[in-house]
Structure 1
Amino acid sequence: MKKFVLFVPLLALFLGCGKTPAKDPELGADDLSSVVSAMTEVMVHDVTNPPLGSRFFAYACLAAYEVVAQNDESFPTMQGRLNEYPVLQPPDSIKGYATNLSALLAMMEVAGKMQPSGKEITAMKTRLLDSLVKAGVDENVVAQSQKYAQAISRQILAYAKSDRYNKISNYPRYAPTNTNGSWYPTPPAYFAAVEPLFHTIRPFTLDSSAQFKPQPPVPFSERQNSEFYKMLQGLYRHSLTEDEKQIAAFWDCNPFAVQDNGHLLVGLKKISPGAHWMGIAGIACKQSGKNFAQTVQVFTTVAVGLMDGFLSCWDEKYRSNRIRPETAIRKYIDASWTPLLQTPPFPEYLSGHSTVSGASATILTHFFGDDFAYTDTVEVRYGLPARKFTSFKQAAQEAAISRYYGGIHFMDAIENGLVQGEQVGSLVVRKVAGK
């Protein structure tokens, strides 16, 4: 994995102009985005599945938010706002810390402990601390900030451990039913179902993963005059324009994509839908001039929405267990058909990208307004060109319809996924970001 070259704004602050550094570093949106980017890179390396990635983002951001909330009364604690969130004890014995630095380090501590290749985040944190000391920052401030971060991160990690994710391996192993109309692994890799029991873990704001149970999907039918078969034919016959192909590629976000070179399958490095929306949140915070604490709040709220969005979606996916277009079209219409995008390894209904896009757009609209125009450069480093959007809602709608253009979802999964996500996002805003 490539090494992370981050925290340029922070180091520039301390090294520029030969001035004596301030006690509390003037950290901002860029520095938090650097940690989010580092977490994303680790997820790409580890091929972290999208629901699990949202869990990593959420707890890491909560650690940073807790430090902010304990030191700024304008940011309320999550106790009483998130399910089973404990009263986190502030480390009163620790003095002389820098709040923003402690928050950033707490975020890195949790990410480093939770992610499989978290040692990369830990190494990045060590490089940051060394650079601060070399730049002349008071070593006691650095040390006390780290102690504060560790005290908070330990409590957040205990909260994470109690969400029951570690109990999933105790349940019976999921197996596809292989009946007409049900999901079955798809080519080229035929991956096993991803996180079939994710819905069993504790949500943050939902009373259960089934709180916003969507309307049932269009019933499966082999009859050519049925609604399902007409939907199937419509997708099969859709002739893609060049713009539609570009939209599908831009929002692909499939960590499980592989390329068959004739001898072996080669993994393609791609970020998840959640990581893409976290990147958008960072762009919005920087563009609007949000300060460090405000940026922490935005990242945390979006991350909580991502996890509850995935929980809500995954609850429906493994209840309806609907067949993917690729499987159905090959069986009933054209055995040689392949979608533009590779089909991800889980049931079709609802569309996960539509759900979390609807949730994220709702949350970001709360913070930045209905008509926040921005340029999405999140995946430029992965070879995709930037795209301009006039609002987060427009971006969510494009992300959702991209799944139809890509040939991996039916329209009812897309439309109802957006509705599901908007419901989750509105709940998260009321519980987490409300005053």
Structure 2
Amino acid sequence: MKLSLPVWALAAALLPALHSARADVVTDWNVTALSLTQSSPPPIEIRTLALTHVAMFDAVNAVTRTHEAYMKPAPTAPAGASAEAAAAAAAHAVLLSIYPQQKPALDTALQASLAKLSDEGAKSAGSALGRRVAEQCIAMRSGDGWNARVAYTPPGTPGSWQPAPPSMGTFASVAWAEVKPFFVKSSTEVTVPGPLAVDSPQYLKELDEVRRLGGRYSTERTADQTAAAIFTLLNGGQMWNAAARAGAAAKATTMPENARIFAVINMAAMDALITGWEVKRKLGTWRPLTAIRAASRNPDPSWEPLINTPPHPDYVSGHSVTSGAWSRSLQLLFGTDAVPFTATFAGALTRHFTSFSQAAIEIENARIWAGIHTRTADEHGLALGRQVAELAVQRAMKKIE
């Protein structure tokens, strides 16, 4: 995967990251990675974060040797290698492999990290270790299937997914259903009940909820609900990694602890995305827009959602799936739900949250207020993501006793 962004734009995005006060090299490079991915599609952002952070973890852990490595064979560190230099070099190399045209800005970020270290020998050994771990990580995921071409033909049955305006786009992102996960061993390990029958009273009730609260010109949706709905246009990685940084600050976690935390939460989100897209492929239902316009009772051919309908099925909600994974893994890894945090979209719209679960529930509701998901698709998505997170935390890089 190689992506590009104008160098001047990246440099401008990185500048605040380099000069703001932050806890350690892991959170520094988390912000740097997010500066690169903020305009990427959510699946690409999640994959980038997962690769960057698993490389940083294995690089740091090769020095500290506190946990099992994720990659096999486990990377080994030369005597005296700096864990900080290893983490920075690993992140730099992974991101450079994805964004090769951003080398000047990434080099600047690396220099800023290494300038904080005084021992030249430790710095050199750590940097070499980090580059080696990054190469191993890139090789490990080079054939994971993220960019495969996967055919998908809509079933054409009542209630099944079909392209929706304005994009009328095909289900091109179905390839994510076949990407290799990090922790989940098979799609049968995590389950969802399945979508509601489109002629059931409960489905009709949920569709009416979307019609009333999610319409572009709704008179029932409040101003705060509108703001929450628009806020979900922010990539989940941006929001939930901000939550993780807030958790790290609140709990005063160490750099090696952060290396594991940020790796696990983003790898869990990647696995949740994969399992969610597999559900979409198998059980995908039409979007509320399609259902409302084609309703057997009170059809509204001119109805429009608040935000444009994405080109993939309603069931299950992808945003809810990944939010479930991020929120639950954060709860488990920090040992608490009560971490206040703030995230900002487009430099203008800021939301404040009192806990991880409160943020996840807001997203569940906000996708309804946005007019693009039914409640069951959101609730089941959130539950699926939580299941994935619990598996990931249970299996991830266990402490060496």
The TM-score, its normalising length taken from structure 1, stands at: 0.80
> Aligned AA for 1:156?
C
1:119 aligned residue: 101
Corresponding residue for 2:254? Answer: 291
Separation in 2, partners of 1:196, 1:128: 35
Query: Taking structure 1 as reference, are residues 299 and 146 closer, same or farther at Cα in structure 2, changes over 3 Å only?
Result: same
The answer to whether 1:88 aligns with 2:63 is no
Work out whether 1:388 is the aligned partner of 2:353: yes
> Bigger shift: 132-141 or 295-304?
132-141
Change (3 A) 1:320 1:106: same
Q: Distance in 2 between matches of 1:132 and 1:370?
A: 30
Q: Give me the whole-angstrom Cα distance separating, in 1, the residues matched to 2:179 and 2:380.
A: 23
Further displaced range: 130-139 or 296-305? 130-139
2:358 and 2:157 map into 1 onto residues whose CA distance is 37
| Compared CA separation, residues 103 and 240, structure 1 to 2 (3 A) | same
Change (3 A) 1:340 1:381: closer
Contact preservation (8 Å) 1:210, 1:315: no
Cross-structure match for 1:102: 86
**1:237 is matched with which residue?**
212
Q: Secondary structure in 1 aligned to 2:341? A: strand
**Matched residue, 2:125:** 144
| 1:192–1:42 Cα change, 3 Å | farther
Letter in 2 for 1:250: F
Structure 1 residues 136 and 410: CA distance shift in structure 2, 3 A: closer
1:186 partner SS: coil
Distance between the aligned counterparts of 1:413 and 1:337, measured in 2? 20
Measured in 1, the distance between the counterparts of 2:174 and 2:364 equals: 22
Counterparts of 2:117 and 2:307 in 1: how far apart (Å)? 51
1:66 correspondence with 2:58: yes
| Within-5 A mapping of 1:265-280 | 272-280=235-243
Q: Which residue in the other structure is 2:231 paired with? A: 250
Any unmatched runs of 5+ in structure 1?
A: 11-27, 79-84, 254-271
Q: 1:204 aligns with which of 172, 179, 182?
A: 182
Separation of aligned partners in 1, 2:304 and 2:192: 29
Of stretches 134-143 and 122-131 in structure 1, the one that deviates more from structure 2 is 134-143
Looking at structure 2, the residues matched to 189 and 392 of structure 1 have their Cα atoms a distance apart, in angstroms, of 33
Cα deviation, residue 422, structure 1: 1.3
Deviations along 1:189-243, one digit per CA (max 9) or x if unpaired, are 333324202222221111113421211100223xxx7443333223213421222
Whether the 8 Å contact between 1:105 and 1:125 is mirrored in structure 2 is no
State the alpha-carbon separation in 1 of the partners of residues 69 and 80 from structure 2.
22
* Contact preservation (8 Å) 2:92, 2:110: no
**SS in structure 2 opposite 1:385?**
strand
Corresponding position of 1:262? none
Provide the rounded CA distance (Å) in 2 between the counterparts of 1:127 and 1:234.
50
Matches within 5 A, 1:336-415: 336-376=302-342, 378-379=343-344, 382-389=347-354, 391-415=355-379
SS in 1 for 2:94: helix
State which drifts further: 60-69 or 187-196: 187-196
2:284 corresponding residue in structure 1: 321
Deviations 1:325-344 (A, max 9, x none): 01211222211111112222
1:308 corresponds to: 271
Q: Give the aligned partner of residue 219 of structure 1.
A: 197
Check whether the contact 2:46–2:266 (CA below 8 A) recurs between aligned residues.
yes
Q: Give ranges in structure 2 of 5+ residues lacking alignment.
A: 1-5, 214-219
C-alpha separation in 2, matches of 1:413 and 1:131: 44
Q: Match of 1:213, SS?
A: coil
With over 3 angstroms needed to count, the CA separation of the structure-2 counterparts of 1:190 and 1:33, relative to structure 1, is farther
Contact 1:29/1:290 (<8 A) preserved? no
How many angstroms apart in 2 are the aligned matches of 1:321 and 1:305?
22
**Aligned residue for 1:36?**
30
Corresponding residue to 1:49 among 41, 49, 52: 41
Corresponding residue number in structure 1 for 2:144: 163
Q: Contact 2:61–2:67 at 8 Å: present in 1 too?
A: yes
Q: Is the 8 A contact 1:63 1:153 kept in 2?
A: yes
Alignment match, 2:3: none
Please point out which of 63, 76, 84 is paired with 2:68.
76
Match of 1:153 in 2: 134
Distance 2:156 2:344 in 1: 36
- Structure 2 distance, partners of 1:421, 1:186, is 26
Identity %: 25
* Structure 1 residue 57, shift from structure 2 partner: 1.1
1:379 match: secondary structure: strand
Partner of 1:195, secondary structure, is helix
More moved, 140-149 vs 416-425 = 140-149
Q: C-alpha distance in 1, partners of 2:101/2:353? A: 35
- What CA distance in whole angstroms lies between the structure 2 residues aligned with 1:379 and 1:393? 18
